[in-house]
Chain A
Amino acid sequence: MLKNKGVAFKLILVFSTTSLAVMGMIGTFNYHYWLEILEKNVVENAGNLAKSTVNRIETIIVSTEKVADNFAGFIENGPLTEEELKRFLRTNVGENTEVYGSTVAFEPYAFKTSEEYFAPYFFKKNKELEYVFLGSDFRYQYRDWYQIPKELGRSYWSEPYYDEGAGEAMMSTYSAPFYERTPEGRKFRGVVTADISLDWLQETVSSIKILETGYAFLVSRTGTIVTHPIKEMIMNETIFSIAEARGDEGLRDIGRRMIQGASGIVPFTSMVTGKECWMYYEPVPSTGWSLAVLFPKDELLADITRLNKILTVVAMSGFLLLLLIMAFIARSITRPLRAMAKAAGVIATGDLDAKLPMVRSKDEVGQLADAFGRMKRSLKEHIKKLTEATAARERIESELNIARKIQMSILPKALSDSDLKGAGFDIHAVIHPAREVGGDFYDHHYIDSDRFCFVIGDVSGKGMPAALFMAVTAAFFKATVRTEQKPDEVLRIVNEELNLQGDQSLFVTVFFGILNTKTGEVLYANGGHNKLVVVRANGETLFLDSPEGMIIGVMENVHFKTGKCVMKQGDTLFMYTDGVTEAMNEKKELFTEERMMKALAQLHGSDTREIISALLKELKNFSGKAPQSDDITMMAVRYGVRGQ
């Protein structure tokens, strides 16, 4: 199908496909190149972001730990009064912004033998410092923040919890145990606590904004979600319950690595957007917590995607421009070509005046257009000449046609059966000029009631001069026969007349005879013409030896002799011009007298029409496609009634 399309189409198709492929290759390479660079950077950036956030959290945590640790050491060093304890606690909570609340919780009856529970608690509420005494209704010794450091024998960061009854806030508590030195050894006396508000932690972690929808979340050392953009997940889900809900064993393994204090980067599906992310996790060493930082993959790629979009737009614009330019160039080439094709089509219909398109350029197209123009002009000229020549020839041809008609009208009409009724003889003649007009002629007519004369001639040369000379000769014969009936005299007179014309270049051979229709006697004279053939009724065929005379029209004062022969019933006299015997076939062979005589011998008994048409047929068969080279004339005279 492509081969039916125009040059412009093919040109644009090939160039656009190629340039698209090249642009595609560049785009793909560009994408992957930047992707690699970006992914290399992302691990580093994620790690840095996570580490810096962890550091911020650590700073708070460490300073909170110090508050409790220092106070625990202080208590171990010397007994404090209730008032002193409360004053220190108030100061610790009031002056340390990161400390949300703090208490000193004693073992039963350890502070006062009269009181089972002793735990004064100071905490911040709406920026005000509040105080509550944690007593018997609180039963703090079974709280994690008390029991766990006691059982562990070391300080402990509690799992995040919602503190009902006292702080009424989401918090995590750091508990530093303090001891009494007794002779039996170290004896547990209680814990000093310092709470941090998870609201603060949530603010810190949720302030981390990564790209568009990236976020960070914090899990405790049991994997519990401590901070998360989805509030319902906080304290309600662990990284492991999420793994269970997702049926994701891999996430469970990641969770275990997180709570074991490892760091790393893993693929993770965002719980907020459901997007695929990279998750970098980094431990918070003091608390055993783990911070996870999520980078949505698609947003990471946003820059590349944007770059690619810009590149695509630029490339497509360039491509369109290229396409336009190509279309323009292709059009500038093909438009004159198309116009020329159209013009050539018009010229092909014969309209040589069709306007050729203007091409100003001097390139191949311009050269083609010039050549085309020159061709058109010379063609026009040639055709003009041809037209003129054709007109001239047509004129000559029409004149020749007229001449031919005139010439043919000079010849006598073929005699019909009624003309010959009772005549006692039968005559028929044909003339086939090689060209429109010829130099052969024949004539026959009655001289008186008993005598019938006939003549056959062949003017030298062909065409119009021969035709005119033939007409003159025929006219002389007609005129002469009126006054003179002796054949030799007739030839002599005609010769004299023709010589008077003075033109020596043309001459004529003539056979002239007079038949006495009563007796069958034929008197004749021969002026350089072919011999007369006699076909006897019995089939004998022979040339008639006769007195032969000079060719007529060559010289003056020539005398001829009259010959005589007598025809019996059924005999035929046959006269012809050399157009018969010298007719050529395609092999340039001549018909010859032998072939003619052989044909005539088989035709005895036939009437004159049959003889002549049979010979014409024989000649045609012999010649084949070879053109007729000379005028052919035949005349046959049969003595006796036609048809007998």
Chain B
Amino acid sequence: MAILVPFLAGGNEAGLTKVRFMTHWSPQAQFAGYYVAREKGFYEKYGIDLEMLPSGPNYSAADYLVEGKTDIAVLWLTQAVQKRSGGAKLVNLAQMVQRSGLMLVARKSDGIVEPGDLNGEKVGIWEGDLSLQPKAFLKKYGLNVETVRQSYTVNLFLAGGVDAVSAMWYNEYHTILNSGVNPDELTTFFFSDHGLNFPEDGIYALKGTFTKNPDLFSGFVKASVEGWLYAFAHPKEAVDIVLEYMRRAKVPANRVHQMWMLERFKDLMMPGGDESALGRLDREEYERVAAMLKEAGLIVTVPDFDTFFVPAGEHAEK
């Protein structure tokens, strides 16, 4: 009888398997593909009844995954590597975001046009994993700067309190633009352009749950990829769905901002429009990220790539 009982949280009348899912941040276009796949019924197609768990700054998706409170989570690569190194048996089923959206933004009017110009200036840097790339960047160019711990807003930069500011291309950079600063007035340093690319969002599950029902996870990855491709092909509809999720989560929503974010995620997930990149994790990039984490003292050992990256979509095809 045990075989008939669905493995995870249980079945429902339609014969679907309930899967709990959680993102590492509040609803926004960064996760558009998952919302779209859910709303368009792509998950149901693969036998999945997807339950969206609440997310945001007050929830740690990584902890939820490790503690088994969610079946699947979207996590940053750096977060996941740290958890894995710390002993949690999580696996990367699909690396969704290939390119890092993290960047430094400065004003041309302050005379900053190339990395060297940052020398001696005040640079806003976020805490935690988001400080790895900027610090590596500063080290790479041998820059001596005054770092200022950066809060959630870019107002310090807008007010002139710092000369350069950390920004996500899909988020803070657009906020700066929509605070009345024109793109041609800004100098941008994308870390991915300076040999410091960090793959970002990936789909993770615990190895144990994945092994017991690989087809289910494979279906989730496939449905998610379909969701993303649909969102990119139908941005207006996708943004409508995103805004609805944001509204339900009572998160302030701005349509043009979400549209910008969706378009940037297309650039970050499929650099150069390469669809085949979706889901792949590059071994070299993984090794670089892990090495930098180790160097920063955030991990002691580098987890083995082949046991860390278990592409669920490919597994199912094999």
Contacts and interface: CB of A to CB of B under 8 A. Distances in A.
A495 interface: no
A240 B252 CA distance: 17
B177 interface: yes
Task: Report the contact-size class of chain B (Cβ under 8 Å from the partner).
Answer: 20 to 34
Contacts of A224: 179
A151 B254 contact: no
Interface string A131-171: 00000000000111001100110001011000000000000
B156 A147 contact: yes
B16 interface: no
Contact of B180 (A142, A152, A156, A222): A222
Contact of A159 (B148, B153, B162, B255): B153
Contacts of A182: none
B141 to A, nearest CB: 23
A154 B292 CA distance: 38
B178 A244 contact: yes
Nearest to A246: B256
Interface in B151-208: 151, 153, 155-156, 158-162, 177-180, 182
B252 A148 contact: no
Contacts, number: 63
B291 interface: no
Contacts of B159: 148, 152, 156
Nearest to B122: A151
B261 to A, nearest CB: 12
B155 A152 contact: no
A546 interface: no
A144 B155 contact: yes
A642 to B, nearest CB: 130
Contacts of B182: 256
B257 interface: yes
B278 interface: no
B288 interface: no
Contacts of B153: 144, 159
Contact of A235 (B156, B177, B252, B257): B252
B162 A241 contact: no
Given A143-B151, A148-B155, A148-B161, A240 B255 contact: no
Interface in A230-268: 235-241, 244-245, 252, 255-256, 259
B255 A223 contact: no
Given A147-B161, A148-B156, A151-B122, A223 B151 contact: no
B156 A241 contact: no
B166 to A, nearest CB: 13
Interface string A208-242: 00000000000001111000000000011111110
A173 B253 CA distance: 23
B149 interface: yes
Task: Report the contact-size class of chain A (Cβ under 8 Å from the partner).
Answer: 20 to 34
A151 B253 contact: no
Contact of A147 (B151, B160, B252, B257): B151
A143 B155 CA distance: 10
A244 B254 CA distance: 11
Given A152-B161, A223-B180, A240-B180, A245 B255 contact: yes
Given A143-B151, A256-B180, A241 B257 contact: yes
A148 B165 CA distance: 13
Given A240-B180, A259-B180, A245 B256 contact: yes
Contacts of B151: 142-144, 147
A235 B175 CA distance: 12
Contacts of A158: 155
B289 to A, nearest CB: 26
Contacts of B179: 222-224, 238, 240, 259
Contacts of B257: 241
A299 B92 CA distance: 62
Contacts of A223: 178-180
Given A148-B161, A152-B161, A236 B156 contact: no
Interface in B136-151: 148-149, 151
Interface in A98-151: 142-144, 147-148, 151
Nearest to B127: A142
Contact of B254 (A144, A148, A237, A239): A237
Contacts of B158: 221-222
Given A144-B155, A223-B179, A244-B178, A151 B256 contact: no
Interface string B240-254: 000000000000111
A259 B122 CA distance: 24
B155 A236 contact: no
B20 to A, nearest CB: 27
Interface of A: 142-144, 147-148, 151-152, 156, 158-159, 221-224, 235-241, 244-245, 252, 255-256, 259
Interface of B: 122, 148-149, 151, 153, 155-156, 158-162, 177-180, 182, 252-257
24 contacts: A144-B151, A144-B153, A144-B155, A144-B156, A147-B161, A148-B155, A151-B122, A151-B148, A151-B161, A152-B160, A156-B159, A158-B155, A159-B155, A222-B155, A223-B178, A223-B179, A236-B254, A240-B177, A241-B178, A244-B178, A245-B255, A252-B180, A255-B180, A259-B179
Given A147-B161, A223-B180, A245-B256, 12 more contacts: A148-B159, A151-B161, A221-B158, A236-B252, A237-B254, A238-B180, A239-B180, A241-B178, A244-B256, A252-B180, A255-B180, A259-B180
